[in-house]
Amino acid sequence: MSDNNSLNRLSGKTAIVTGAGRGIGAAIAQRLANDGAQVLLTGRQRGPLEEIEKKISHAGGKARVVTGDISVPADVDAIVSDAVRAWGRVDILVNNAAVFDEPPFMEVSPEAFRTTFDINVLGTFLMSQRVAKEMIGAHSGSIVHISSIDIFGADGPVTAYTATKAAVSSMARTMTMELAPLGIRVNTVAPGFINADMLVKTSTPAVLDHMMNDFQRVPLRRLVEPEEVAAAVAFLASGDASAITGIDLVVDGGLTANLYAVETLPEPMIPLGAGE
C-alpha cells in the first residue's frame, strides 16, 4: 500500500467484511487492505461497496465486491464461495453488518424484533459457521464480531439492538471454546459512541458539537472515530493477537470505565483520610 503507516502485518491474508459500504465497516475494510489483506466487501447495496472498493484500489490495495443478505443462507454461501474461488481460502472474517432502527420498547413490533435478530445474530452465525468450515482445513483463522458497549448497559430505547449485541458477545465465547482447538480465534470489538452516519442522523448540531469536542461523560472527552475501531479489529485479526481469543475488546474512550455516579452528586464527597 502507498500509506507509509501501513504495517503490512496482514500481507498475503484474505478477509471478508460484512456491512462494508459505510461507517465502521468501510473503515475496517480499508484498514485491513492497508495492512496488506485482500478484502471481499459485502452488503445489500452495491453502490456504497463499489465506492469503498475504488478507495482501496486507488490506495494500492485489493478488494472485490459481492452483494448479499447475510440472513439468507443461500446468499451467505454465495459470498463465501466467491471468496474461496478467488483466493482459495478465507483467513479473516469481520461480522460488522447490523441494523439499528426500532421504536421504544412499548412500540416495538414482533416483526421489527425478528428482523433485527435475523441480521445482527442469525446473519453473524451463518457467516461464521460457513467461513469456519473453510478455516478448519487450514487450522487457522480469525473471526471478529462487532459488538457494542450496549452489552454492558442500556444507553437508549433500542431493546432489540441491545439484545442482539449481547447475543453476539455470548456467541463469540461459545464459538471460542469449540473453535480454538481447530486453530480459529474468535473475538469481539465493542465500540462506544462512534462518529459515524447513524449518530449524525440522530443528533442535533448542538449535541453533535458537544460529543465531538466536550463529551464530559467520556474520559477522552470525544467520540471514537471509525478508524480507531478498525485499528482494534486489524490487531485482533493479525498474528500479533495470536494468543487472544474469547475477549470483548472495548473501544469507547474510557466510557465504561467510569460509573459516572460521583460526578452527578450535588457537591464533592469528603476524601477518606482527609486531615489525618
Place of cell 483463522: 141
SS3 category, 16: strand
**Closest C-alpha among 99, 74, 83 to residue 23:** 99
* Residue of 117, 125, 152, 161 with catalytic role: 161
In sequence order, the β-bridge partners of residue 42 are 18, 66
Q: Are 61 and 33 in contact (CB under 8 A)?
A: yes
Identity of the residue numbered 97: A
CA–CA separation, 170 and 52 (whole Å): 31
Distant-in-sequence, close-in-space partners of 135: CB < 8 Å, separation ≥ 6: 89, 90, 91, 141, 143, 182, 183, 184
In sequence order, the β-bridge partners of residue 184 are 141
- Give me the helices (H) in the chain, please: 23-34, 46-58, 73-87, 110-117, 123-138, 159-179, 197-201, 205-213, 226-237
The grid coordinates listed for 130 are 460457513
Q: What is the largest CA-CA distance in the chain?
A: 73
Active site residue 260: no
* Strands of 38-43's sheet in order across: 62-67, 38-43, 14-18, 92-95, 141-146, 184-191, 248-251
In sequence order, the β-bridge partners of residue 250 are 190
Q: Hey, which residues are catalytic here?
A: 161
